[in-house]
Structure 1
Amino acid sequence: MGMEKVSSGDRNKKKRLRQKKVSAVQKLYDTCRDVFADCGPGIVPSLEAIEHLKDVLNRITASDVGVWPNLPYFKVKETTRYPKITYLHLADCDKFSIGIFLLPPSGVLPLHNHPQMTVFSKLLFGTMHIEAYDWVDGGASISTPKVDASKGEVGSVSARLAKLKVNSAFTAPCNTSILYPTDGGNMHCFTAITSCAVLDVLGPPYCDPEGRHCQYYQTHPFTSFPVDDKKLPNDEKIENYTWLEEIDKPAGLSVVGAMYNGPKIIEK
């Protein structure tokens, strides 16, 4: 019996079918593995690699990862300052992590940092306000007395000068935002105006033993303390600068892990 001849059209069809078997999240994982392969704390991927990962993220939709605005995580039952936020873990290793934050309306991820990380954030759906800051290179630090009237105690405020980089509302669909170890808004705060889902890629991920722990901040207007405005670089506006004070994790903040039920990722 002779072999059946396969046309080039059939070969191309089979190739397309094989390509369709690779899910969007699998492609994201594979891309992250390549992009962060030679990176580490404080080491930023090449511009070409960043653009490639950004392009992959820009193409991902909520349905690609199995999340929708009608999921029960978005039904707010409490009226606390910090409605519960849900985190879906997709994948992680020592080089990067992938996850999705689900924020109900008025949900807040308070101002926090990303030490030595390159971070990609893709808003999958919803409207969210983002406020983000970078440290001022060689910027001033202050330590000034602070009185806690309720406790009758005298303490101090230690804060560092930062510059406002982002203070706007974003509505999906929108492009992926990127922040770098020292630029792009390394400290940021997310406030959900509607139900929101944010796909996050961190390279490398947080790691307490290696000193990459999540630190929270409280803002103080530049004029809060008796300092000379000549400390501002390039004679810029006072409104663009803020003092950031390190604080403990805000009381009531609850980020709870939940099972990711979207397409599975094969960690090679």
Structure 2
Amino acid sequence: MSSLVQRIARQALLTFRPPQWSSSSTAEEAGRLFQENQSLLHSLMSEVSAQDLRLTPRTAASSGRPSAFAPPVTYMHICETDHFSMGVFLLKSGAYIPLHDHPGMHGVLKVLYGKVRISCFDRLSEEPPGAPYTPPLSGLLRLSLLRSSGEYGPQSGPCVLSPEQDNLHQIQALDGPSAFMDILAPPYDPDHGRDCHYYTVLSEGQAAEPPGPQGPPGQQVWLQEVPQPADFWCGAEPYPGPPVFL
């Protein structure tokens, strides 16, 4: 019998690989099929646990203290195709993945152990009435909406993002180390316009201190594109779980 990780990978491929349509197929039919497959993928991701990936939950003592020589975040690569990538991120206690975007990409994130706070933003295409002040700063600015900010644990459902909604997000480990399984579709690819950009939240012309951002959902904020923060980098570890074949 296939492992749950194998079934998730196959469902991700069905969900994000462009379907072969006849000339009589319609955009409505394509959209309906995508929604059905995405719902199945969401259900499978809701079931996955650290045990399914043969991960042993780490403690603050076992993960060690962040230092100048130890990455605050590590990544376990599971598989990648032209249509999606799948892996596991491990965050040390107090570590965070800075606010960043996923240009033109879908994503599904499921916490395996520990607890994280995920803050999600939407870009606003034009300045609506009641928009916040315009910062007198140079550089790339994006008016955005803080759509949600909440805590997720192993019992929580997946966090889902799309090219239009929740596409920018930040993830912070709370109360100890944490890990989450991550699917991105299609994968990052700078040659095709899918590079990762980092942002900071501006408040009256000043950048918010990490880990930011704070405020109620629905709040409009200015985001400024910034270089990758100096205190964030990602290491790599071998994936210990069942192999995936596609």
TM bucket (normalised to shorter chain) is 0.7 to 0.9
2:22 corresponds to? none
CA distance in structure 2 between the partners assigned to 1:88 and 1:79 by the alignment = 20
Gaps of 5+ in 2: 20-29, 207-215
Partner amino acid, structure 2, of 1:126: G
Task: Give the TM-score of the pair, scaled to structure 1.
Answer: 0.75
Map 1:186-197 to 2 at 5 A: 186-193=167-174, 194-197=176-179
Match of 1:247 among 223, 226, 231: 226
2:193 corresponds to? 211
**How much does 1:144 deviate?**
2.5
Gaps of 5+ in 1: 1-20, 146-155, 226-236
Is residue 2:123 matched to residue 1:135? yes
CA offsets, 1:30-67, max 9 Å, x none? 1111111217xxx9872111111000111111110111
- Structure 1 residues 251 and 71, CA gap change in structure 2 (3 angstroms): same
**How much does 1:131 deviate?**
1.2
Partner amino acid, structure 2, of 1:250: P
Partner amino acid, structure 1, of 2:173: A
1:233 corresponds to? none
RMSD across aligned positions (CA)? 2.7
Task: Say if 1:126 and 1:195, in contact at 8 Å, map to a contact too.
Answer: yes
2:209 corresponds to? none
**How much does 1:76 deviate?**
2.7
**How much does 1:86 deviate?**
0.8
Percent identity between the two aligned chains: 27
SS in 1 for 2:41: helix
Match of 1:61 among 46, 49, 57: 49
CA distance in structure 2 between the partners assigned to 1:239 and 1:202 by the alignment = 25
CA distance in structure 1 between the partners assigned to 2:81 and 2:233 by the alignment = 24
Greater helix share, 1 or 2?
Answer: 1
Partner amino acid, structure 2, of 1:120: V
Match of 2:136 among 144, 159, 167: 144
- Structure 1 residues 144 and 61, CA gap change in structure 2 (3 angstroms): same
Q: Which of the pair has more CA radius of gyration?
A: 1
SS in 1 for 2:136: strand
SS in 2 for 1:27: helix
CA distance in structure 2 between the partners assigned to 1:129 and 1:66 by the alignment = 24
Task: Give the TM-score of the pair, scaled to structure 2.
Answer: 0.81
CA offsets, 1:193-234, max 9 Å, x none? 12111100111010011110110001112x449xxxxxxxxx
Task: Say if 2:139 and 2:225, in contact at 8 Å, map to a contact too.
Answer: no
Question: How many residues end up aligned between the 2 structures?
Answer: 220
